[in-house]
Structure 1
Amino acid sequence: MKWFLILWAAPIAFLGSWYGLSYYDMSFGIFMLTRDAHDLVFRIYGHVLGMPPESIPPLVARAIVIDSLFVFAIIAFRRRKRIMAWWKGRRQLRSDGSAQDLPSAESLSNAP
């Protein structure tokens, strides 16, 4: 599971870092981090896909969100027993009335 998360997060972190640095032209002397390279990459992708280059970043962001939801659903499915035990324990605490640790409105009104 650790490698699954690493192999999911590494490309997203790499792409997000490159996009942010190149969008704001923080090149540090590296051509791929310049705004010119940023525009060139999206022009090439736009030409290959047959769509305007400015419409590609929102599509990539939407794909990352949907992929992330799938990854979290897989993790939740694999840990469903632990999640259900946590949920039942939490509900049990609430139904037992063990919220006595929390200050009530009455005790707060008597505060100095």
Structure 2
Amino acid sequence: MPVRWEQIVVDAEDPHRLARWWAEALGYVIVHEAVDEVEIRRTPDELPGLLFGVGPDPKTVKNRLHIDLRPDDQEAEVERLVNMGARLADIGQHDVPWVVLADPEGNEFCVLSEKRS
């Protein structure tokens, strides 16, 4: 039986605000919006998506699942995301070639360095 990866669900204090932030960060579009959830995708017909819904509890610990982004220019992308409202995050990563950031609600994600050959 084939299976398709539909979306990743993200609990959020304000799903509308966080979905819009991630849509801008990734160049995605909003494909569904309701009172308590918003889904974004690269294009309306392209899976997977990110579905932001109301989370019952505030975020208090490091995420167990996170997104890795690999831009052409790590330094420029980190600067762009920080200017959008992300912040540098220390999760004990020490000296690594990626930068850990947190979105406006504190969800960690990584901005990787340029791909190695």
Q: TM-score range by the shorter chain?
A: under 0.3
Q: Return the TM-score normalized by structure 1.
A: 0.21
Higher strand content, 1 or 2: 2
Say which structure, 1 or 2, has more relative contact order (CA 8 Å, 6+ apart): 2
Q: Return the TM-score normalized by structure 2.
A: 0.20
Is the radius of gyration larger for structure 1 or structure 2?
Answer: 1
Higher helix content, 1 or 2: 1
